[in-house]
Homo-oligomer: A and B are copies of this chain.
Amino acid sequence: MEKYVKILKDNNMKITSHRINVLRYLDKHCTHPTADQIYTDLKTNNPSLSKTTVYNALDALESHGIIQAITISGSELHYDITHEMHHHFYCKKCGKIIDIEFCCPNINKMSEYGHEVEEVHGYIKGICKKCIKKGS
């Protein structure tokens, strides 16, 4: 059984080819794509695909905690497969999102506040290495 089928099955989600494709796309691309990027890329091999379906699939996957929405850009959502905690760097110039491998040890302190923590996002914004080089 394919890896993605298993993930869907384990989460009691109906198995559809679109969901598998979206999931595989996010697994294979570490670019933190937007719904539109996923839609455009998948549509080339699957012309009947609708953008609504991509939104539906992303919502379903997110609500099961399989993927996460990244709100770093402020204008559109980017998506990431949920795995070990890591942070993100957002380049204000080229818009690229880069994985940052450390994470904050103070997160455990959150329990002191009495809120129920479901997600932790570390967003660092600035100018990326490449754009600095280009700019100078």
In the bound complex, how far is the Cα of B129 from the Cα of A122, in angstroms?
A: 22
Interface 9-residue window, one of A22-30, A50-58, A66-74: A66-74
Size of A's binding interface in residues, CB under 8 A: 37
**1/0 contact trace for A97-136 toward B, CB 8 Å?**
0101011111101100111111111111111110010000
Among A73, A114, A124, residue most surrounded by chain B Cβ atoms (within 10 Å)? A124
In the bound complex, how far is the Cα of B91 from the Cα of A119, in angstroms?
A: 11
Q: A103's closest neighbor in chain B, by CB?
A: B106
Q: Does A8 contact B (CB under 8 A)?
A: no
Given contacts A74-B71, A104-B104, A105-B106, contact A115 B128 (CB under 8 A): yes
Q: Does A89 contact B (CB under 8 A)?
A: yes
**CB proximity of A35 to chain B, nearest CB, Å:** 12
Selected contact of A116 from candidates B73, B102, B123, B126, CB within 8 Å: B126
**A117 touching B123 by the CB < 8 A rule?**
no
Within 8 A of B (CB), among A26-83: 69, 71-74, 77
**B102 touching A105 by the CB < 8 A rule?**
no
**CB proximity of A88 to chain B, nearest CB, Å:** 10
